[in-house]
Structure 1
Amino acid sequence: MIKVLVVEDDPMVAELNRRYIERIQDFTFCGIVKNGEEALAVLKEKNIDLVLLDIFMPNMNGLELLAKIRQQNVSVDVIVVSAARENQSIQTALRNGAVDYLIKPFEFERFQAALIAFKKRLKAIRGETGLSQNDLDQQIFAKIPHKDIELPKGLDRNTIKRVWGHILDRQEEFTAEEMAQYVGLSPVSIRKYLKYFQSMDLLHVEISYGSVGRPVYRYRCNREK
């Protein structure tokens, strides 16, 4: 079980955090403290894995406590849970090793995502075998892909960028023939790129029929994507 300590001087927020923790599998709530001095005392006595840390507290604020935790080499990870949204506060927290930063108020789903991500990170680090670069990228850092996404056969990466740029320029619907002329490709070639964007849900496609019954495909950029 992952042991969690809540450092929060607002009783209502602290109780909400406790209830959230108890809803997530493999995490156990280990108590609430109201200030930095109490937190340091608990961290010396108990083996805590994760601290949920508020910033606005009397005497020693959360950022000062986080700095002391690092200075004293306390083996614990910290997720900041605070209403502080200034760039300086966030930057200071991250530089002192906070593994996540939740801005109040937040939904349970975001809280849960933070703890689950921490659990995966902890499991990877505590594994018996060493980690490869790909393991670090995928499990701990920013989900960096090991290699570029492989494109369908016959598509060129630079041409994709060029076609997509032209699509974004068009505010109205267009046909494959119109886009081919606009970009400077053959209709056969442009349809391959349009099909690729359609498969990624980046294009809406509507089919209409002319007087002779021939279908006409009209495309429109899905700007929500």
Structure 2
Amino acid sequence: MVAKFNAIFVERIPEFKLVGVARGIDEGWTYLNEEAVDLILLDVYMTNENGLDLLMELRRKNHPVDVIVVSSANDRGSIQTALRFGAVDYLIKPFEFDRFQDALLRYKQTFQDMKKEAIQQEEVDRLFLTKGNSNKDVPKADLPLPKGITKETYIRVLREINKHSDWFSTNDLVEATGISRVSLRKYLQYLTNSDILLFDVDYQRTGRPLHQYKLTNQGYDYVVSVLKEEK
């Protein structure tokens, strides 16, 4: 299901564990029946077999495993079949590690969202790849920052935010960056107003309400592009 070369990529991404490499559909079903598998990286071209046949069979049997197609197949028919049968992403070989990592991190975020009993509209928008509340333009990576936002501190904040795939608080950033709470709020407000972050308030049973933040889908793309420019 995943070539050994791609297996190396998987092992470079935290919180993902490779269960096994299947050379054919029957061997793939063996892994599915014996192991707890959340995600398949599926090639269309398998030895004397079409990997999309496995995808279609999974859906006919209502199997809950998710699928990302990783293949050199770039024909319209293969891509349409993958879409119609619920593949969550499609990577055309050859591709760079950044694209591969992006696909898995997006899947991870979706997987975490779907564990919740109730999902907010912004999270539903992300799951269905819609813009939702994104009527504002996300800043481009090379645009100048507004007054009061320094580039050095901004990058430090973005680097730390990029480590969080789920909700985080101001306290999380204060502890990790050493930046004062007052200064961080200014940066978080700017990122929220720019639709890079979602904002929510957790009204806890005791103590003060907890302000929480989370990267939007387009916010994730923005942060990755900014940090890539800084390398």
* Greater alpha carbon shift after TM alignment, 63-72 vs 53-62: 53-62
Where in structure 1 do 4 or more consecutive aligned residues deviate above 3 Å? none
Change (3 A) 1:147 1:61: closer
What is aligned with 1:36?
Answer: 25
Q: Aligned partners of 2:119, 2:80: CA distance in 1, in Å?
A: 28
1:89 is displaced (CA, Å) by: 0.6
What is aligned with 2:188?
Answer: none
What is aligned with 1:70?
Answer: 59
1:142 is displaced (CA, Å) by: 1.3
What is aligned with 1:146?
Answer: 133
What is aligned with 1:55?
Answer: 44
What is aligned with 1:112?
Answer: 101
Q: Aligned partners of 2:84, 2:130: CA distance in 1, in Å?
A: 20
8 Å CA contact 2:20–2:31 kept in 1: the answer is no
For 1:32, what is the secondary structure of its paired residue? coil
8 Å CA contact 2:38–2:65 kept in 1: the answer is yes
Superposed counterparts of 1:145-164, under 5 Å: 145-146=132-133, 148-149=135-136
Q: Aligned partners of 2:86, 2:94: CA distance in 1, in Å?
A: 22
Q: Aligned partners of 1:135, 1:83: CA distance in 2, in Å?
A: 31
Q: Aligned partners of 1:147, 1:120: CA distance in 2, in Å?
A: 19
Unaligned runs of 5+ in 1: 1-6, 9-13, 151-225
Q: What amino acid does structure 1 have at the position aligned with 2:54?
A: L
For 1:93, what is the secondary structure of its paired residue? helix
1:58 is displaced (CA, Å) by: 2.9
Unaligned runs of 5+ in 2: 138-231
Q: What amino acid does structure 2 have at the position aligned with 1:94?
A: L
1:147 is displaced (CA, Å) by: 5.4
Q: Aligned partners of 1:58, 1:83: CA distance in 2, in Å?
A: 14
Q: Aligned partners of 2:43, 2:134: CA distance in 1, in Å?
A: 38
Relative contact order higher in (CA < 8 Å, ≥ 6 apart): 2
Question: How large is the RMSD of aligned CA atoms in angstroms?
Answer: 1.5
Q: What amino acid does structure 2 have at the position aligned with 1:19?
A: I
What is aligned with 1:25?
Answer: 14
What is aligned with 2:75?
Answer: 86
Q: What amino acid does structure 2 have at the position aligned with 1:145?
A: G
1:49 is displaced (CA, Å) by: 0.5
Q: Aligned partners of 1:21, 1:67: CA distance in 2, in Å?
A: 24
Q: Does 1:103 align with 2:95?
A: no
> % of aligned pairs identical?
44
TM-score normalised by length of structure 2: 0.56
Q: What amino acid does structure 2 have at the position aligned with 1:60?
A: E
- The structure with the greater share of residues assigned to strand is 1
Q: Aligned partners of 2:10, 2:135: CA distance in 1, in Å?
A: 37
